[in-house]
Amino acid sequence: MERTFAIVKPDATAAGFTGRILARIEQEGFKIVAIKKIFMSKKQAEGFYAVHSARPFFNDLTSFMSSGPCVVMVLEKDGAIKEWRNLMGATNPAEAAEGTLRKEFGKNIDNNATHGSDAPETAATEIAYFFSALELVG
């Protein structure tokens, strides 16, 4: 069974969408293996998005991610990485398909409600950034 790392971003927690997003996650057959609410510092957000440090939107992205609380999670399902990205939809909510989380809950490309790992190596790194092995409750 594959695991991926997911975030309910600060725009979505502030708007009160956490419960509805968690409900969709369970309805779509993901098991929530670990979950917690955190408020990242700018430095912690920069560490998490280090792979994007050369991108023009890095400062805005890390400021946004440290602007309010997030819900961070480890999700488990067959093909979890791809399945979670499919459920999130396109990065830009304006381009996201009907029925996806970013279409329903995202406002724009900066405030797009959710994050998901893009590959097995990133999933492993991102899970380890936020959770210890003891916190993963299979």
Binding residues: 9, 57, 85, 91, 102, 112
Q: Residues 20-26: contacts with CB within 8 Å, 24+ apart?
A: 20/105, 21/101, 21/105, 21/113, 21/114, 22/71, 24/87, 24/101, 25/73, 25/75, 25/87
Judged by CB under 6 A, the residue of 87, 112, 130, 131 near ligand IDP is 112
Judged by CB under 6 A, the residue of 2, 118, 124, 125 near ligand IDP is 118
- Residue closest to 109 by CA, chosen among 9, 4, 5: 9
- 78: number of Cβ within 10 Å: 9
Judged by CB under 6 A, the residue of 82, 110, 124, 125 near ligand IDP is 110
Residue 25 or 61 having the CB closest to ligand IDP:
61
Out of 84, 115, 117, 131, pick the active-site residue.
Answer: 115
Give the ranges where 1-138 is alpha helix by DSSP (H): 10-14, 18-27, 42-48, 58-65, 80-88, 101-105, 120-130
Residue 63 or 91 having the CB closest to ligand IDP:
91
Judged by CB under 6 A, the residue of 12, 61, 96, 101 near ligand IDP is 61
Please indicate whether residue 52 is annotated as part of the active site.
no
What residues are labeled active site?
Answer: 115
Binding residues vs ligand IDP (CB under 6 A): 57, 61, 91, 109-110, 112, 115, 118
